């Protein structure tokens, strides 16, 4: 129950973080890539990490 709650809190946090209005007009390069693109690339990787944690419960009872 607690794990589930924490997962959904993390998912909501990701939803909020997806709306990165804070560098809307910023083109500072991160490893050569504009920050607006680098950030969302990182966002995809962090999402994969969260899903890796959540997916462990899938199929535990195969239902």
Partner 1 sequence: MTLAIIAAYLLLVLAIGWGSARAFRGTGVDYFVATRSIGSLLLLTSLFGTNMTAFSLLGASGEAYRRGIGVFALMASSTALVAPLVFLTIAPRVWGLGKRHGYLTQVEMVRDRWGSDRLGALLFAFQVVLLVPYLLIGIKGGGLTLAQITEGTVPEWAGSLAITLVVLVYVTAGGLRGTAWANAAQTAVFTLLGGVTFWIIVRSFGGLSAAFARVAEVEPELLVRGARVQPLELLSYMAIPLSVVGFPHIFLHWLTAKSARSFRLPVVAYPICVAAVWVPSVSIGVLGAVDFPGLEGPAANSILIQMIGRYAPGVLAGFLAAGVLAAVMSSLDSQTLALANMFTHDIVKHYRYRDRMSDRLEILAGRGFVTLVLAITYSLSLVIDQSIFRLGVWSFSGFAALTPLFVAALYWRRSTRAGACAALGAAIVTWFAFLVRGWSQPAYTVGDSGLMPVVVILAASGLALWLVSLVTRAPGDERLARFFPPAETAP
- Binding footprint of partner 1 on the chain (CB under 8 A): 11, 14-15, 18-21, 23-27, 29, 31-34, 36-37, 40-41, 43-45, 47-48, 51-52, 54-56, 58-59, 61-63
Question: Using CA atoms, how far apart are residues 19 and 54, in angstroms rounded to an integer?
Answer: 23
Which token pair is 54? 């959540």
Closest distance to partner 1 from the beta carbon of 51 (Å): 5
Smallest distance from partner 1 to CB 4, Å:
11
Question: In this complex, which beta carbon is closest to partner 1, that of residue 2 or of residue 54?
Answer: 54
Query: Could you give the CA distance from residue 46 to residue 37 in angstroms, rounded to a whole number?
Result: 14
Question: What is the rounded CA–CA span in Å between residue 27 and residue 35?
Answer: 6
């Amino acid at each position: 129950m607690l794990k589930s709650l924490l997962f959904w809190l993390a998912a909501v946090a990701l939803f909020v973080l997806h709306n990165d209005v804070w560098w809307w007009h910023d083109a500072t390069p991160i490893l050569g890539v504009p920050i607006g693109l680098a950030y969302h690339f990182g966002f995809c990787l962090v999402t994969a990490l969260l899903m890796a944690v959540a997916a462990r419960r899938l199929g535990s009872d195969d239902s």
